[in-house]
């Protein structure tokens, strides 16, 4: 049973920083992509950033230059360093682990709330 557990969310003032962590437990096969998505009230879930096993990264335009994704393959953990936070970054942030080729899998964490407000 694969489980993803996020931590690090909370309330922060505009311009502040937060670091999210997502620890993966269970058996994971092969190379994969880990990532962060977010969903604000009344909006669809959207991609924030992804990182492949080899280190290639991808970011949403709205967070480029402010957020940084990293992973520790030995610890099966992915991180999201969020700087210069804005009120529009307020959302529930979800960790994702996926492999899009055989054997495929796609797992989600339970989500962690990030609120940016003065």
pLDDT digit string, tens, across residues 5-56: 999 999 999 999 999 999 999 988 788 999 999 999 999 999 999 999 999 9
**Alpha helix (H) ranges present in the chain?**
none
Find where tokens 């694969």 sit: 2
Peptide bond into 20 cis (omega under 30): no
Phi, psi dihedrals of residue 88, rounded to the nearest 5°: -70, -5
Quick one: pLDDT at residue 107? 96
Quick one: pLDDT at residue 56? 96
């Amino acid at each position: 049973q694969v489980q993803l557990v996020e931590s690090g969310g909370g309330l922060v003032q505009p311009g502040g920083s937060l670091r999210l962590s997502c620890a993966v437990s269970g058996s994971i096969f092969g190379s994969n992509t880990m990532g962060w998505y977010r969903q604000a009230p009344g909006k669809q879930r959207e991609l924030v950033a992804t990182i492949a096993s080899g280190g290639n990264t991808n970011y949403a335009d709205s967070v480029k230059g402010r957020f940084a994704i990293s992973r520790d393959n030995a610890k099966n953990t992915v991180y999201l360093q969020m700087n210069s936070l804005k009120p529009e970054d307020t959302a529930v942030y979800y960790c994702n682990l996926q492999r899009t080729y055989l054997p495929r899998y796609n797992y989600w964490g339970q989500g962690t709330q990030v609120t940016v407000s003065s």
